[in-house]
Chains A and B, each alone.
Chain A
Amino acid sequence: MTQTHPFVEIRHAQKSYGKLEVLKDISLTVERGQIVAIIGPSGSGKSTLLRAINDLDPLTAGEVWLDGLQVNKSLPHRQYEKHINEMRQQIGMVFQHFNLFPHLTVRENVTMAPKLLKKITDKEADTLAEEQLDHVGMLERIDYYPSQLSGGQKQRVAIARALAMKPKLMLFDEATSALDPELVEEVNLVMKKLAEEHMTMIIVTHEMDFAASVCDRVIFMDKGLVVEEGPPELVFKNPTQERTQAFLRKHLEGAK
Protein backbone atom coordinates (compact mmCIF):
# COMPACT_ATOMS: atom_id res chain seq x y z
CA MET A 1 0.00 0.00 0.00
CA THR A 2 1.76 3.08 -1.17
CA GLN A 3 -1.33 5.22 -1.26
CA THR A 4 -0.44 8.62 0.09
CA HIS A 5 -2.65 10.40 2.52
CA PRO A 6 -2.33 13.75 4.24
CA PHE A 7 -0.73 13.57 7.66
CA VAL A 8 -3.66 15.31 9.34
CA GLU A 9 -6.96 15.51 7.58
CA ILE A 10 -10.21 17.02 8.71
CA ARG A 11 -13.15 16.12 6.49
CA HIS A 12 -16.38 18.06 6.58
CA ALA A 13 -16.20 18.79 10.27
CA GLN A 14 -19.45 20.00 11.76
CA LYS A 15 -20.25 20.81 15.33
CA SER A 16 -23.41 22.14 16.92
CA TYR A 17 -24.38 22.94 20.46
CA GLY A 18 -28.14 22.60 20.20
CA LYS A 19 -29.14 25.09 17.54
CA LEU A 20 -25.81 26.90 17.56
CA GLU A 21 -23.65 25.78 14.66
CA VAL A 22 -20.09 26.32 15.83
CA LEU A 23 -18.34 24.54 12.97
CA LYS A 24 -19.97 24.45 9.55
CA ASP A 25 -18.37 21.96 7.22
CA ILE A 26 -14.67 22.52 7.71
CA SER A 27 -12.15 20.54 5.71
CA LEU A 28 -8.42 20.96 5.90
CA THR A 29 -5.19 19.04 5.70
CA VAL A 30 -1.80 19.45 7.31
CA GLU A 31 1.31 17.79 5.99
CA ARG A 32 3.97 16.21 8.14
CA GLY A 33 6.27 18.85 9.57
CA GLN A 34 3.97 21.71 8.63
CA ILE A 35 3.10 24.46 11.02
CA VAL A 36 -0.35 25.89 10.68
CA ALA A 37 -1.80 28.88 12.48
CA ILE A 38 -5.52 29.29 13.02
CA ILE A 39 -6.63 32.86 13.54
CA GLY A 40 -10.01 34.51 13.73
CA PRO A 41 -12.34 36.51 15.92
CA SER A 42 -13.47 35.32 19.33
CA GLY A 43 -16.21 32.71 19.11
CA SER A 44 -15.38 31.74 15.54
CA GLY A 45 -14.80 28.12 16.56
CA LYS A 46 -10.99 27.92 16.66
CA SER A 47 -10.81 26.12 19.99
CA THR A 48 -13.69 23.86 19.08
CA LEU A 49 -11.91 22.81 15.90
CA LEU A 50 -8.62 22.21 17.69
CA ARG A 51 -10.31 20.22 20.44
CA ALA A 52 -12.10 18.13 17.84
CA ILE A 53 -8.76 16.93 16.53
CA ASN A 54 -8.11 14.85 19.66
CA ASP A 55 -11.84 14.32 20.19
CA LEU A 56 -11.93 16.35 23.40
CA ASP A 57 -15.00 18.05 21.91
CA PRO A 58 -16.46 15.38 19.64
CA LEU A 59 -17.75 16.52 16.25
CA THR A 60 -21.41 16.31 15.39
CA ALA A 61 -20.42 15.11 11.91
CA GLY A 62 -17.23 14.71 9.94
CA GLU A 63 -13.95 12.85 10.28
CA VAL A 64 -10.53 13.51 11.69
CA TRP A 65 -7.59 11.48 10.43
CA LEU A 66 -4.04 11.32 11.70
CA ASP A 67 -1.34 9.48 9.79
CA GLY A 68 -3.75 7.11 8.12
CA LEU A 69 -5.90 6.38 11.17
CA GLN A 70 -9.28 7.84 11.91
CA VAL A 71 -9.25 9.55 15.29
CA ASN A 72 -13.00 9.87 15.86
CA LYS A 73 -13.88 6.39 14.67
CA SER A 74 -17.25 5.21 15.83
CA LEU A 75 -16.74 2.15 17.99
CA PRO A 76 -18.48 0.52 20.96
CA HIS A 77 -17.67 2.39 24.16
CA ARG A 78 -14.88 0.19 25.49
CA GLN A 79 -13.11 -0.20 22.18
CA TYR A 80 -13.47 3.48 21.52
CA GLU A 81 -11.87 4.33 24.87
CA LYS A 82 -8.89 2.14 24.09
CA HIS A 83 -8.60 3.54 20.58
CA ILE A 84 -8.87 7.19 21.57
CA ASN A 85 -6.35 6.81 24.39
CA GLU A 86 -3.87 5.41 21.90
CA MET A 87 -4.57 8.22 19.46
CA ARG A 88 -4.27 10.89 22.12
CA GLN A 89 -0.85 9.63 23.12
CA GLN A 90 0.26 10.73 19.67
CA ILE A 91 -1.34 14.17 19.88
CA GLY A 92 0.13 16.63 22.37
CA MET A 93 -2.01 19.51 23.52
CA VAL A 94 -1.11 22.77 25.22
CA PHE A 95 -3.82 24.84 26.88
CA GLN A 96 -4.22 28.54 27.46
CA HIS A 97 -4.30 28.01 31.23
CA PHE A 98 -1.50 25.41 31.32
CA ASN A 99 -3.54 22.85 33.29
CA LEU A 100 -0.47 21.55 35.08
CA PHE A 101 -1.25 19.08 37.86
CA PRO A 102 -0.84 21.17 41.02
CA HIS A 103 -0.41 18.20 43.36
CA LEU A 104 2.60 16.91 41.45
CA THR A 105 6.11 18.31 41.04
CA VAL A 106 7.39 19.46 37.66
CA ARG A 107 9.18 16.13 37.29
CA GLU A 108 6.04 14.15 38.14
CA ASN A 109 3.96 16.26 35.79
CA VAL A 110 6.24 15.25 32.97
CA THR A 111 6.68 11.58 33.88
CA MET A 112 3.20 10.61 35.02
CA ALA A 113 1.73 9.75 31.64
CA PRO A 114 4.82 7.98 30.23
CA LYS A 115 5.14 5.95 33.43
CA LEU A 116 1.50 4.89 33.35
CA LEU A 117 1.19 4.32 29.64
CA LYS A 118 4.61 3.28 28.45
CA LYS A 119 5.67 1.21 31.44
CA ILE A 120 9.10 2.76 31.64
CA THR A 121 11.30 2.34 34.72
CA ASP A 122 11.77 5.10 37.28
CA LYS A 123 15.28 5.66 35.99
CA GLU A 124 14.15 5.97 32.39
CA ALA A 125 11.43 8.32 33.54
CA ASP A 126 13.94 10.53 35.30
CA THR A 127 16.14 10.67 32.22
CA LEU A 128 13.09 11.51 30.13
CA ALA A 129 12.03 14.29 32.50
CA GLU A 130 15.52 15.78 32.52
CA GLU A 131 15.74 15.64 28.74
CA GLN A 132 12.37 17.23 28.14
CA LEU A 133 12.78 19.89 30.80
CA ASP A 134 16.22 20.76 29.55
CA HIS A 135 14.71 21.17 26.11
CA VAL A 136 12.36 23.89 27.37
CA GLY A 137 14.92 25.39 29.73
CA MET A 138 13.21 24.25 32.90
CA LEU A 139 15.65 21.69 34.22
CA GLU A 140 16.54 23.82 37.23
CA ARG A 141 12.95 23.74 38.45
CA ILE A 142 12.52 19.99 38.15
CA ASP A 143 11.57 19.49 41.79
CA TYR A 144 9.38 22.57 42.15
CA TYR A 145 5.61 22.52 42.33
CA PRO A 146 3.64 24.36 39.63
CA SER A 147 2.47 26.95 42.18
CA GLN A 148 6.09 28.03 42.57
CA LEU A 149 6.49 28.89 38.89
CA SER A 150 5.70 31.93 36.76
CA GLY A 151 3.14 31.66 33.98
CA GLY A 152 5.77 31.38 31.29
CA GLN A 153 7.59 28.68 33.22
CA LYS A 154 4.34 26.79 33.75
CA GLN A 155 3.61 26.85 30.05
CA ARG A 156 7.10 25.60 29.22
CA VAL A 157 6.61 22.71 31.65
CA ALA A 158 3.23 22.00 30.07
CA ILE A 159 4.94 21.78 26.68
CA ALA A 160 7.56 19.42 28.12
CA ARG A 161 4.80 17.31 29.61
CA ALA A 162 3.14 16.97 26.22
CA LEU A 163 6.43 16.27 24.45
CA ALA A 164 7.35 13.53 26.91
CA MET A 165 4.74 11.34 25.23
CA LYS A 166 6.67 11.79 21.95
CA PRO A 167 3.64 12.99 20.01
CA LYS A 168 3.47 13.20 16.23
CA LEU A 169 1.37 16.31 16.35
CA MET A 170 1.17 19.23 18.74
CA LEU A 171 -1.90 21.38 19.26
CA PHE A 172 -1.62 24.78 20.90
CA ASP A 173 -4.71 26.69 22.02
CA GLU A 174 -3.62 30.26 22.67
CA ALA A 175 -0.62 29.10 24.61
CA THR A 176 0.53 32.62 25.38
CA SER A 177 -2.66 34.60 25.82
CA ALA A 178 -2.89 34.09 29.58
CA LEU A 179 0.67 35.34 30.06
CA ASP A 180 1.99 38.73 31.07
CA PRO A 181 3.51 40.37 27.99
CA GLU A 182 7.07 40.00 29.23
CA LEU A 183 6.63 36.22 29.58
CA VAL A 184 5.29 35.60 26.08
CA GLU A 185 8.67 35.52 24.40
CA GLU A 186 10.12 32.63 26.39
CA VAL A 187 7.19 30.44 25.36
CA ASN A 188 7.36 31.59 21.75
CA LEU A 189 11.03 30.69 21.69
CA VAL A 190 10.25 27.15 22.76
CA MET A 191 7.63 26.88 20.04
CA LYS A 192 10.07 28.22 17.48
CA LYS A 193 12.57 25.60 18.57
CA LEU A 194 9.96 22.90 17.98
CA ALA A 195 9.30 24.39 14.57
CA GLU A 196 12.98 24.12 13.70
CA GLU A 197 12.86 20.47 14.74
CA HIS A 198 10.02 19.98 12.24
CA MET A 199 7.34 19.12 14.73
CA THR A 200 3.93 19.19 13.08
CA MET A 201 1.95 21.88 14.86
CA ILE A 202 -1.48 23.44 14.73
CA ILE A 203 -1.47 26.70 16.60
CA VAL A 204 -4.50 28.76 17.53
CA THR A 205 -3.19 32.23 18.23
CA HIS A 206 -3.97 35.91 18.46
CA GLU A 207 -0.36 36.84 17.83
CA MET A 208 -0.10 37.72 14.17
CA ASP A 209 3.63 38.47 14.27
CA PHE A 210 4.38 35.12 15.77
CA ALA A 211 2.13 33.36 13.27
CA ALA A 212 3.82 35.20 10.41
CA SER A 213 7.30 34.29 11.60
CA VAL A 214 6.92 30.55 12.29
CA CYS A 215 3.97 29.26 10.32
CA ASP A 216 3.90 27.76 6.86
CA ARG A 217 0.21 28.41 6.50
CA VAL A 218 -2.43 30.58 8.07
CA ILE A 219 -6.09 29.71 8.30
CA PHE A 220 -8.55 32.48 8.97
CA MET A 221 -11.82 31.30 10.49
CA ASP A 222 -15.00 33.22 11.04
CA LYS A 223 -18.40 32.04 12.22
CA GLY A 224 -17.50 28.37 11.96
CA LEU A 225 -16.08 28.54 8.45
CA VAL A 226 -12.62 28.71 6.93
CA VAL A 227 -12.80 32.02 5.16
CA GLU A 228 -9.30 32.19 3.81
CA GLU A 229 -6.10 30.20 3.95
CA GLY A 230 -2.64 30.43 2.51
CA PRO A 231 0.97 31.27 3.30
CA PRO A 232 1.35 34.05 5.89
CA GLU A 233 2.78 36.49 3.34
CA LEU A 234 -0.44 36.28 1.36
CA VAL A 235 -3.00 36.09 4.13
CA PHE A 236 -1.44 38.89 6.16
CA LYS A 237 -0.27 41.16 3.34
CA ASN A 238 -2.83 40.57 0.61
CA PRO A 239 -5.96 39.03 2.06
CA THR A 240 -8.53 38.44 -0.66
CA GLN A 241 -11.59 38.20 1.52
CA GLU A 242 -13.33 41.24 2.92
CA ARG A 243 -13.78 39.58 6.33
CA THR A 244 -10.10 38.78 6.62
CA GLN A 245 -9.20 42.35 5.75
CA ALA A 246 -11.60 43.69 8.36
CA PHE A 247 -10.28 41.32 11.03
CA LEU A 248 -6.65 42.14 10.32
CA ARG A 249 -7.31 45.87 10.20
CA LYS A 250 -9.02 45.71 13.58
CA HIS A 251 -6.33 43.50 15.01
CA LEU A 252 -3.42 45.60 13.85
CA GLU A 253 -5.06 48.75 15.14
CA GLY A 254 -5.57 47.05 18.46
CA ALA A 255 -1.91 46.09 18.64
CA LYS A 256 -0.75 49.67 18.16
Chain B
Amino acid sequence: MDVELILKVYPYFLKAAVITVELSVLTTILGLICGALGTTARLSRFAIVRFLGAAYVSLFRGTPALIQLFLLYFGGPQIGIQLDAFSAGVIGLGLNIGAYMTETMRGAIISVDEGQGEAARTLGLSRAQSFRKVVLPQAMRLMIRPLGVNINAQIKGTALVSAISVVELTYTAQRYIGSTYKPFEMFFLAGILYLAIITITGKGVAYLDRRARLQ
Protein backbone atom coordinates (compact mmCIF):
# COMPACT_ATOMS: atom_id res chain seq x y z
CA MET B 1 0.00 0.00 0.00
CA ASP B 2 1.29 3.40 -0.99
CA VAL B 3 1.18 5.21 2.36
CA GLU B 4 3.04 8.19 1.03
CA LEU B 5 0.36 8.73 -1.61
CA ILE B 6 -2.37 8.46 1.02
CA LEU B 7 -0.66 11.07 3.14
CA LYS B 8 -0.40 13.33 0.14
CA VAL B 9 -4.03 13.17 -0.94
CA TYR B 10 -5.84 12.83 2.34
CA PRO B 11 -6.49 16.56 2.83
CA TYR B 12 -8.53 16.53 -0.37
CA PHE B 13 -10.45 13.54 0.89
CA LEU B 14 -11.16 15.31 4.16
CA LYS B 15 -12.65 18.18 2.20
CA ALA B 16 -14.78 15.71 0.29
CA ALA B 17 -15.79 14.09 3.57
CA VAL B 18 -17.12 17.46 4.69
CA ILE B 19 -19.38 17.46 1.62
CA THR B 20 -20.50 13.94 2.52
CA VAL B 21 -21.31 15.11 6.05
CA GLU B 22 -23.22 18.10 4.70
CA LEU B 23 -25.17 15.87 2.38
CA SER B 24 -25.89 13.48 5.25
CA VAL B 25 -27.05 16.20 7.62
CA LEU B 26 -29.29 17.92 5.08
CA THR B 27 -30.67 14.62 3.86
CA THR B 28 -31.39 13.51 7.42
CA ILE B 29 -33.22 16.75 8.17
CA LEU B 30 -35.27 16.50 4.98
CA GLY B 31 -35.84 12.80 5.64
CA LEU B 32 -37.13 13.48 9.14
CA ILE B 33 -39.48 16.14 7.81
CA CYS B 34 -40.74 13.82 5.07
CA GLY B 35 -40.99 11.02 7.62
CA ALA B 36 -43.08 13.15 9.97
CA LEU B 37 -45.36 14.26 7.13
CA GLY B 38 -45.57 10.74 5.76
CA THR B 39 -46.44 9.39 9.19
CA THR B 40 -49.10 12.02 9.71
CA ALA B 41 -50.57 11.08 6.36
CA ARG B 42 -50.41 7.35 7.06
CA LEU B 43 -52.26 7.84 10.35
CA SER B 44 -54.78 10.36 9.06
CA ARG B 45 -58.46 9.87 9.61
CA PHE B 46 -59.11 10.53 5.93
CA ALA B 47 -58.74 7.54 3.62
CA ILE B 48 -57.47 9.61 0.71
CA VAL B 49 -54.67 11.11 2.80
CA ARG B 50 -53.74 7.67 4.11
CA PHE B 51 -53.61 6.47 0.52
CA LEU B 52 -51.27 9.30 -0.47
CA GLY B 53 -48.97 8.45 2.42
CA ALA B 54 -48.94 4.79 1.49
CA ALA B 55 -48.31 5.64 -2.16
CA TYR B 56 -45.32 7.81 -1.21
CA VAL B 57 -43.82 5.02 0.85
CA SER B 58 -44.28 2.29 -1.72
CA LEU B 59 -43.03 4.45 -4.61
CA PHE B 60 -39.81 5.43 -2.89
CA ARG B 61 -39.14 2.08 -1.31
CA GLY B 62 -40.14 0.18 -4.41
CA THR B 63 -37.65 1.73 -6.84
CA PRO B 64 -33.85 2.05 -6.72
CA ALA B 65 -32.63 5.28 -5.15
CA LEU B 66 -30.30 5.68 -8.11
CA ILE B 67 -33.24 5.74 -10.52
CA GLN B 68 -34.95 8.32 -8.31
CA LEU B 69 -31.82 10.51 -8.42
CA PHE B 70 -31.42 10.14 -12.19
CA LEU B 71 -35.09 10.87 -12.74
CA LEU B 72 -34.85 14.06 -10.69
CA TYR B 73 -31.48 15.27 -11.98
CA PHE B 74 -31.53 14.21 -15.63
CA GLY B 75 -35.27 13.93 -16.15
CA GLY B 76 -36.20 16.97 -14.07
CA PRO B 77 -35.29 19.64 -16.66
CA GLN B 78 -37.66 17.99 -19.12
CA ILE B 79 -40.58 18.82 -16.82
CA GLY B 80 -39.21 22.16 -15.71
CA ILE B 81 -37.31 21.13 -12.57
CA GLN B 82 -33.80 22.55 -12.89
CA LEU B 83 -31.57 21.62 -9.97
CA ASP B 84 -27.84 21.67 -9.41
CA ALA B 85 -26.34 18.30 -8.61
CA PHE B 86 -25.97 18.92 -4.87
CA SER B 87 -29.59 20.03 -4.41
CA ALA B 88 -30.85 17.19 -6.56
CA GLY B 89 -28.82 14.84 -4.37
CA VAL B 90 -30.23 16.20 -1.12
CA ILE B 91 -33.81 16.26 -2.36
CA GLY B 92 -33.64 12.86 -4.02
CA LEU B 93 -31.99 11.11 -1.09
CA GLY B 94 -34.11 12.99 1.45
CA LEU B 95 -37.35 11.91 -0.19
CA ASN B 96 -36.01 8.38 -0.40
CA ILE B 97 -34.94 8.05 3.22
CA GLY B 98 -38.11 9.88 4.29
CA ALA B 99 -40.11 6.92 3.00
CA TYR B 100 -38.13 4.56 5.21
CA MET B 101 -38.37 6.95 8.14
CA THR B 102 -42.14 7.14 7.65
CA GLU B 103 -42.36 3.43 8.30
CA THR B 104 -40.00 3.65 11.26
CA MET B 105 -41.97 6.44 12.91
CA ARG B 106 -45.33 4.90 12.20
CA GLY B 107 -44.11 1.60 13.56
CA ALA B 108 -43.00 3.25 16.80
CA ILE B 109 -46.28 5.11 17.17
CA ILE B 110 -48.50 2.11 16.64
CA SER B 111 -46.42 0.00 18.98
CA VAL B 112 -47.25 2.27 21.92
CA ASP B 113 -49.84 0.37 23.96
CA GLU B 114 -53.35 1.24 22.85
CA GLY B 115 -54.38 1.63 26.48
CA GLN B 116 -52.20 4.73 26.73
CA GLY B 117 -54.21 6.72 24.22
CA GLU B 118 -57.41 5.32 25.70
CA ALA B 119 -56.49 6.41 29.20
CA ALA B 120 -55.71 9.89 27.92
CA ARG B 121 -58.95 10.15 25.95
CA THR B 122 -60.87 8.89 28.96
CA LEU B 123 -59.59 11.83 30.98
CA GLY B 124 -61.03 14.15 28.36
CA LEU B 125 -57.92 14.95 26.33
CA SER B 126 -58.51 15.62 22.64
CA ARG B 127 -57.00 13.37 20.01
CA ALA B 128 -54.24 15.90 19.43
CA GLN B 129 -53.50 16.38 23.13
CA SER B 130 -53.42 12.69 23.78
CA PHE B 131 -51.08 12.19 20.86
CA ARG B 132 -48.76 15.02 21.83
CA LYS B 133 -48.62 14.42 25.56
CA VAL B 134 -48.95 10.68 25.87
CA VAL B 135 -48.36 8.70 22.70
CA LEU B 136 -45.64 10.71 21.00
CA PRO B 137 -43.22 10.97 23.95
CA GLN B 138 -43.35 7.21 24.33
CA ALA B 139 -43.04 6.63 20.59
CA MET B 140 -40.01 8.95 20.44
CA ARG B 141 -38.09 6.66 22.75
CA LEU B 142 -38.95 3.69 20.61
CA MET B 143 -37.97 5.35 17.35
CA ILE B 144 -34.49 6.69 18.15
CA ARG B 145 -32.69 3.42 17.57
CA PRO B 146 -34.45 2.39 14.34
CA LEU B 147 -34.09 5.93 13.00
CA GLY B 148 -30.38 5.51 13.71
CA VAL B 149 -30.43 2.48 11.43
CA ASN B 150 -32.12 4.57 8.73
CA ILE B 151 -29.51 7.29 9.11
CA ASN B 152 -26.69 4.79 8.91
CA ALA B 153 -28.07 3.45 5.63
CA GLN B 154 -28.61 6.96 4.40
CA ILE B 155 -25.00 8.09 5.07
CA LYS B 156 -23.73 5.20 3.00
CA GLY B 157 -26.39 6.02 0.43
CA THR B 158 -24.83 9.44 -0.17
CA ALA B 159 -22.22 7.60 -2.25
CA LEU B 160 -24.91 7.37 -4.94
CA VAL B 161 -24.74 11.06 -5.71
CA SER B 162 -21.28 10.49 -7.14
CA ALA B 163 -23.24 9.24 -10.14
CA ILE B 164 -24.58 12.73 -10.72
CA SER B 165 -21.07 14.14 -10.14
CA VAL B 166 -21.45 15.70 -6.70
CA VAL B 167 -17.88 15.97 -5.45
CA GLU B 168 -18.27 13.95 -2.27
CA LEU B 169 -16.11 11.11 -0.96
CA THR B 170 -16.85 8.41 -3.49
CA TYR B 171 -16.63 10.78 -6.44
CA THR B 172 -13.34 12.14 -5.12
CA ALA B 173 -11.91 8.65 -4.77
CA GLN B 174 -12.85 7.89 -8.35
CA ARG B 175 -11.30 11.09 -9.58
CA TYR B 176 -7.99 10.39 -7.84
CA ILE B 177 -7.96 6.89 -9.23
CA GLY B 178 -8.09 8.46 -12.69
CA SER B 179 -4.86 10.32 -12.04
CA THR B 180 -3.00 7.91 -9.73
CA TYR B 181 -4.15 4.45 -10.94
CA LYS B 182 -4.21 3.35 -7.29
CA PRO B 183 -7.80 2.22 -6.70
CA PHE B 184 -6.94 0.22 -3.59
CA GLU B 185 -5.46 3.17 -1.72
CA MET B 186 -8.16 5.59 -2.85
CA PHE B 187 -11.13 3.40 -1.97
CA PHE B 188 -9.43 2.34 1.26
CA LEU B 189 -9.05 5.96 2.31
CA ALA B 190 -12.64 6.78 1.37
CA GLY B 191 -13.82 3.71 3.27
CA ILE B 192 -11.97 4.73 6.42
CA LEU B 193 -13.58 8.16 6.30
CA TYR B 194 -17.08 6.69 5.84
CA LEU B 195 -16.39 4.42 8.78
CA ALA B 196 -15.38 7.40 10.90
CA ILE B 197 -18.53 9.35 10.02
CA ILE B 198 -20.76 6.37 10.69
CA THR B 199 -19.06 5.46 13.96
CA ILE B 200 -19.44 8.98 15.32
CA THR B 201 -23.06 9.16 14.22
CA GLY B 202 -23.72 5.77 15.78
CA LYS B 203 -22.27 6.95 19.09
CA GLY B 204 -24.48 10.03 18.94
CA VAL B 205 -27.58 7.93 18.35
CA ALA B 206 -26.65 5.55 21.16
CA TYR B 207 -26.20 8.53 23.48
CA LEU B 208 -29.62 9.96 22.61
CA ASP B 209 -31.17 6.55 23.03
CA ARG B 210 -29.61 6.06 26.45
CA ARG B 211 -30.68 9.49 27.58
CA ALA B 212 -34.26 8.93 26.45
CA ARG B 213 -34.37 5.63 28.29
CA LEU B 214 -33.06 7.12 31.52
CA GLN B 215 -35.85 9.66 31.74
* A contact set with B: CB distance below 8 Å: 54, 56, 81, 85-86, 88-89, 91-93, 95, 97, 99-103, 112-113, 116-117, 158, 161-162, 165
Contact = CB atoms under 8 A, between A and B. Distances in A.
Contacts of A161: 123
Contact of B126 (A56, A81, A92, A103): A81
A58 B138 CA distance: 26
A103 B138 contact: yes
A117 B124 contact: yes
A102 B120 CA distance: 12
Nearest to A161: B123
29 contacts: A81-B126, A81-B127, A85-B126, A88-B122, A88-B123, A88-B124, A89-B124, A92-B122, A93-B122, A99-B115, A99-B116, A99-B118, A99-B119, A100-B119, A101-B116, A103-B137, A103-B138, A103-B215, A112-B133, A113-B123, A113-B125, A116-B125, A116-B129, A116-B133, A161-B123, A162-B122, A162-B123, A165-B123, A165-B124
Given A88-B122, A103-B137, A116-B129, 13 more contacts: A56-B118, A56-B122, A85-B126, A86-B124, A88-B124, A93-B122, A97-B115, A99-B115, A101-B138, A103-B215, A112-B123, A113-B120, A117-B125
Nearest to A89: B124
Interface residues of B, number: 20
Nearest to B114: A99
B146 to A, nearest CB: 18
Given A97-B115, A101-B116, A116-B129, A89 B123 contact: yes
Contact of B119 (A81, A101, A103, A117): A101
A156 to B, nearest CB: 15
Interface string B22-50: 00000000000000000000000000000
